[in-house]
Amino acid sequence: MRDVLPDIERWRAAGERVALATVVSVVGSAPRGLGATLAVSEGGEVSGSVSGGCVEPAVIEDGLRAIRTGKPRLLTFGITEEQNVEQIGLSCGGEIRVFVERLESSPLTETLLQSLQAEMPVALATVIAAPDGNGELVGKHLLVSETANEPTLDEPGVAGLAAGVVERARDLLRRGETTGQTAIIPAHNATGNAQPGDDYEVFYAVYPAPPTLIIVGAGHISIPLTKLAKVLGYRVIVIDARETFATRERFPDADELLVEWPDEALERLPITGTTAVAVLTHDDKFDVPALAKALHSPAGYVGVIGSRGTRAARDKRLREEGITEEELAHIHGPIGLSIGAKTPEEIALAILAQIVAVRRGAETKS
């Protein structure tokens, strides 16, 4: 939805109502992935895509219908043996389901749009199918953030689904998922009088914070690490209390360059599950306080440079700072994947490869 947000805001500012179509399931080959969105204005303008063009006319027509009626609908598109090439379907042979709904003006919608504009991590859970007799809940939402204790609801009746839905949504946010997920919620878990087998289907649209790399230490490895991280779409913050090293001439690509003590900077910086912290100073007076702050944060990755031989002494100091054994186990050190790296550029590659692997759930430790 972030990709169509500017057009949605423009249409809303002009007083137009808006419909949103979202790919909520994909079977086989499909032109667009799970979570792809298309927005339609009341005046017929279109932003985004759910299929690259092959089913867009039908989706746009249904979006305009949703704007008029306010009724959401779950559409299925695919090619079967009975269909011919002139009918609406996916020529690639796969199947997609698209959920079409009117974007209502509500406190939940306003909170969602404000969160997306501010790039705050949120997950929107939408009921896309419900048991017979509970159709009024189709199209209802729960909005979950990493920080709020309770979800935002746009329908009291959704509260019965909240516990399991919120737990899953927060897990997806912690993992930095970006494509979304569809899940079945047994109705008997939500309402006491429902029968097993009467299930709700819920789609999670996940909007994590943009990935951020915080580099502690403005040394020689940090320069190529900053450049490489920017190529991969990371927001990069470099922190070093030494003015000689932390200069714009050395780090022209950094989004932020902070000349201050790392632990003090980490105390005030917004850190989420999509934040990686790489501690590269080789100096305990910087490393230990910075690691302590990072380990007490929700950062998805914490790594530190240094040999295995230096780890015992560093861990001893961290324990003295109140770091638990469980927290110590989260440190990736020596930092980076073991690829035989020698040069600063190769070491930077090994570090970022490990950060990506951890973020994608493909690696634990070097």
C-beta separation of 206 from 112 below 8 A: no
Spatial CB neighbours of 195, under 8 Å, sequence gap ≥ 6: 187, 188
* Amino acid identity at 308: R
Q: Does an H or E element contain 319, and which? A: helix 308-320
If you write DSSP's letter for every residue of 344-360 in order, what string do you get?
Answer: HHHHHHHHHHHHHHHHT
Closest CA to 239 of 211, 219, 210: 219
pLDDT at residue 217 is higher than 70: yes
- Tell me, what's the pLDDT at 83? 43
* Whole-angstrom distance, CA of residue 352 vs CA of residue 229: 7
- Tell me, what's the pLDDT at 150? 79
pLDDT confidence tier of residue 354, bands split at 50, 70 and 90: very high
Helix-helix angle 344-359:222-231, to 10 degrees: 50
Mean pLDDT of 1-17: 94
* Amino acid identity at 181: Q
* Average pLDDT score over the chain: 85
If you write DSSP's letter for every residue of 38-57 in order, what string do you get?
Answer: EEEETTS-EEE-SSTTSSHH
Mean pLDDT of 348-357: 96
Mean pLDDT of 225-232: 96
Mean pLDDT of 61-68: 96
How far is C-alpha 11 from the chain's CA centre? 25
In this structure, what are the phi and psi dihedrals at residue 81, rounded to the nearest 5 degrees? -65, -25
Name residue 141's beta-bridge partners: 126
Mean pLDDT of 102-109: 92
Span of 130-144, 273-287, 327-341 with lowest mean pLDDT: 130-144
pLDDT at residue 81 is higher than 50: no
Residue pLDDT, tens place only, 251-306: 999 999 999 999 999 999 988 888 999 999 888 888 889 999 999 998 999 999 98
Mean pLDDT of 65-91: 70
CA atoms in the 13 A half-sphere facing the CB of 101: 21
Tokens 């909240």 correspond to 162
pLDDT at residue 87 is higher than 50: no
pLDDT at residue 353 is higher than 50: yes
CA atoms in the 13 A half-sphere facing the CB of 87: 9
Strands (E), 9-121: 18-27, 37-41, 46-48, 73-78, 95-102
C-beta separation of 204 from 169 below 8 A: yes
* Whole-angstrom distance, CA of residue 153 vs CA of residue 201: 17
pLDDT confidence tier of residue 30, bands split at 50, 70 and 90: low
Mean pLDDT of 238-252: 95
b/e per residue 259-296 (b: at least 16 CB within 10 A): bebbbebbeebebbbbbbbbbbbeeeebbbbbbbbbbe
Tokens 């032109």 correspond to 31
Residues in the chain: 366
If you write DSSP's letter for every residue of 118-151 in order, what string do you get?
Answer: TT--EEEEEEEE--TT-GGGTT-EEEEESS-SS-
Q: Does an H or E element contain 182, and which? A: strand 181-186
pLDDT at residue 91 is higher than 80: no
Name residue 327's beta-bridge partners: none
pLDDT at residue 207 is higher than 80: yes
Q: Does an H or E element contain 152, and which? A: strand 152-153
